[in-house]
Structure 1
Amino acid sequence: MLLTAGARPGAGAARARLRAWRRTRPFWAGLLLVLAGAELPLAPLAPLPVLVSLGVGGLAALGIGAALVVAGLFLWFAPHARHYVAVNALILSVVSFAATNLGGFGAGMALGVAGGAMGFAWTPGPRGPSRTARRRGRTLAVAVPLLLLAVAVPARGPKAAASPARYAPVPAPVTAPVVTTTRFAPDGFTVAGITEVVTAAGPRKVMVLRMRAASLTDYRLTTRDPGPRLALGARSLRLTGAVTLYLTRFSGCLEGVVCLTFTPERLPVPPLVPPFVYLTRVCAEQALVTSDAISADGLTLRTPG
């Protein structure tokens, strides 16, 4: 009896400390991310050798799952970085749908999206918005990513959503040149939407990608219009200042692991990429490119044989 009576105050104090600690950080958002990260590799219910034999899908489940667990821990122990961590967790959760087994059959992706949204919407302390306002903010933050997921697979053909037709300032070639690079590192990358560019054969629908700057390694551009073809190459290419790419097709491997392909009928969601992300084995059909400045190292120009 003495031990029990003496244990209760200690247990109550521990609960009070845990409650106080929990209220100073997005605890439930972190818990959802940890659960999402644990669910993604568990969904295949297979040991590591089997996951390796599955190829990129199995390894991506391990990689994205571990990253979501780390993101959840960051929300617990580094809540000041919650906005940056939450956005990256949202991106990884959506990417898991294409990179793993449908995002852990939807469960891991849903947990990750909810956790990332809650982490982004969380506000500390009683000095922030009222409880009702915070609740509305969390509800909106969860609802917006779910709405984005609902339109992640756009309609095909003429029913595909597109912004009103706009035209680039200069004509584009009838057949877009092919650009390849072993590494594409954008800075401030966003998807601006869909537009049309002028060609001699009429308007052509393209994706519009904007960024502050971009670095390309082993850059190669090959024209495909009738007549003599040209091949432009560079060991490295740097685009800076209001960079805009008009592409009819874009494919690459995110962080060298998750390979994706985008067209004007299939755009990425969410429409931004964190600053540390890069793509390898990039192949794009580039109708036009505009930039304030372009610098190249080891520039070459030749006619393909």
Structure 2
Amino acid sequence: MRFGWLDERLPLPDARRTLRGWRRTRPFWAGLFLLLGGVELLVVPLSPLTILVSLGLGGIAAIGIGLALAVAGLFLWFLPHTRHYVSINALILSVLSFAATNLGGFLIGMALGITGSAMGFAWTPHEEAGPRVAGVRTQRTLAAALPVALLVTLGGRPAEQPSEPRGITAPAVPPTVTTTRFSPHGFLLAGVTTVPTARGPRKAMVLRMTSASLTDYRLHTRDGHDELALGARSLDLKGRVTLYLTKFSGCLEGLLCVTFDPDTLPVPPVVPPFVFMTDVTAEQALVTSDSITANGLTLGAS
């Protein structure tokens, strides 16, 4: 053994021998790379660096993808027979982190995730290495080609660009909307567009979903004339719901409070990993939906 003298001098020889035997029966290094990539994606939005890097939806997606990559690494360690399925999904998440997070954790987390995914897919148990040399080589070649193929596929697909609303002019000053709970379904962040207003075009976020429910809904106009107040105990929007917002803030799951606007929003479409938001305040330029149902509707003026 090349480093036998070092092995004799290190402490805990039995524990290290047991760990070495355990490590050789699973894609250990692949799982370690995925764990490191997930931790790196988590550290960026949760560190003081968020003073310089806006949390926004990119930070939220980084938390979700980082946790998923860390769990994938644990799967490779403790359930190595799931390596192919886990590695492919981890690879997809790693590549998507470039668009959905802060450049994939400044490329470091993405690179670690891609490396770990390829290594996990290519790993084979020791007993399969002898009689299946050709199959092992094919599998490792496929593992090396997977990241390249995925990057080419994603890079060749142009992102859907949200279109401007046609035939509708928004008020010069968007009304303020508040709700104690906002529950979107089939939520998709479509991007940023310009909305025609009474004072010219204005940049707005476009949030698309299949349906949404709002509790304790309140809308207040702010156009400088007689202000109107619209309220409802609950408001249900169904079918091709599109919100055009110039500002949006709230608390994810009632825990993490964030603020979004068209300038800090990530341009590529992403699916944020949250179910509902509380204490929501938004500047709503426009809203379109196939149907809107209000319960306990009230209307006031001042």
TM-score by length of 2: 0.60
- The 1:16/1:282 distance shift into structure 2, 3 A limit, reads closer
Q: Distance in 2 between matches of 1:262 and 1:268?
A: 10
1:35 paired to 2:36: yes
Q: What are the equivalent positions in structure 2 for 1:211-222 lying under 5 Å apart?
A: 211-222=209-220
Q: Distance in 2 between matches of 1:83 and 1:221?
A: 45
Unpaired stretches in structure 2, ≥5 consecutive residues? 1-16, 48-54, 125-134, 156-160
Q: In the alignment, is the contact (CA less than 8 A) between 1:238 and 1:296 conserved in 2?
A: yes
Q: Distance in 1 between matches of 2:115 and 2:185?
A: 26
Q: Distance in 1 between matches of 2:180 and 2:201?
A: 30
User: 2:9 aligns to what?
Assistant: none
Secondary structure class of the residue paired with 1:203: strand
Q: How many residues align?
A: 249
Structure 1 residue 243 displacement after superposition: 0.8
Q: Distance in 1 between matches of 2:73 and 2:187?
A: 25
User: 2:74 aligns to what?
Assistant: 73
Secondary structure class of the residue paired with 1:198: strand
In structure 2, give the amino acid aligned to 1:233.
Answer: G
Secondary structure class of the residue paired with 2:167: coil
User: 1:137 aligns to what?
Assistant: 146
Q: Distance in 2 between matches of 1:94 and 1:165?
A: 20
User: 1:179 aligns to what?
Assistant: 177
Largest Rg, 1 or 2: 2
User: 2:242 aligns to what?
Assistant: 244
Q: What are the equivalent positions in structure 2 for 1:283-298 lying under 5 Å apart?
A: 283-298=281-296
- The 1:256/1:134 distance shift into structure 2, 3 A limit, reads same
C-alpha RMSD over aligned residues = 4.8
Q: In the alignment, is the contact (CA less than 8 A) between 1:120 and 1:141 conserved in 2?
A: no
Unpaired stretches in structure 1, ≥5 consecutive residues? 1-9, 47-56, 98-102, 147-162
Q: In the alignment, is the contact (CA less than 8 A) between 1:179 and 1:219 conserved in 2?
A: yes
Deviates more, 1:202-211 or 1:260-269: 260-269
Q: In the alignment, is the contact (CA less than 8 A) between 1:188 and 1:273 conserved in 2?
A: no
Q: What are the equivalent positions in structure 2 for 1:228-267 lying under 5 Å apart?
A: 228-267=226-265
- The 1:201/1:113 distance shift into structure 2, 3 A limit, reads same
Q: What is the aligned counterpart of 1:301 among 275, 295, 299?
A: 299
Q: In the alignment, is the contact (CA less than 8 A) between 1:33 and 1:116 conserved in 2?
A: yes
Secondary structure class of the residue paired with 2:200: coil
Secondary structure class of the residue paired with 2:33: helix
- The 1:69/1:17 distance shift into structure 2, 3 A limit, reads closer
Q: What is the aligned counterpart of 1:113 among 85, 110, 119?
A: 110
Q: Distance in 1 between matches of 2:220 and 2:239?
A: 24
Q: Distance in 2 between matches of 1:205 and 1:293?
A: 25
Cα deviation 1:77-126 (Å, max 9, x = unaligned):
466577777777888999886xxxxx9xx5xx755434555688886997
In structure 1, give the amino acid aligned to 2:35.
Answer: V
Structure 1 residue 271 displacement after superposition: 2.6
Q: What is the aligned counterpart of 1:198 among 182, 196, 199?
A: 196
Q: What are the equivalent positions in structure 2 for 1:9-158 lying under 5 Å apart?
A: 18=25, 21-22=26-27, 30-36=31-37, 69-74=70-75, 77=79, 80=85, 110=107, 112-114=109-111, 131-132=140-141, 134-139=143-148, 141=150
Q: In the alignment, is the contact (CA less than 8 A) between 2:189 and 2:271 conserved in 1?
A: no
- The 1:234/1:180 distance shift into structure 2, 3 A limit, reads same
In structure 2, give the amino acid aligned to 1:299.
Answer: L
TM-score by length of 1: 0.60
In structure 2, give the amino acid aligned to 1:35.
Answer: L
In structure 2, give the amino acid aligned to 1:199.
Answer: T
Structure 1 residue 297 displacement after superposition: 2.9
- The 1:246/1:272 distance shift into structure 2, 3 A limit, reads same
Secondary structure class of the residue paired with 1:137: helix
User: 1:6 aligns to what?
Assistant: none
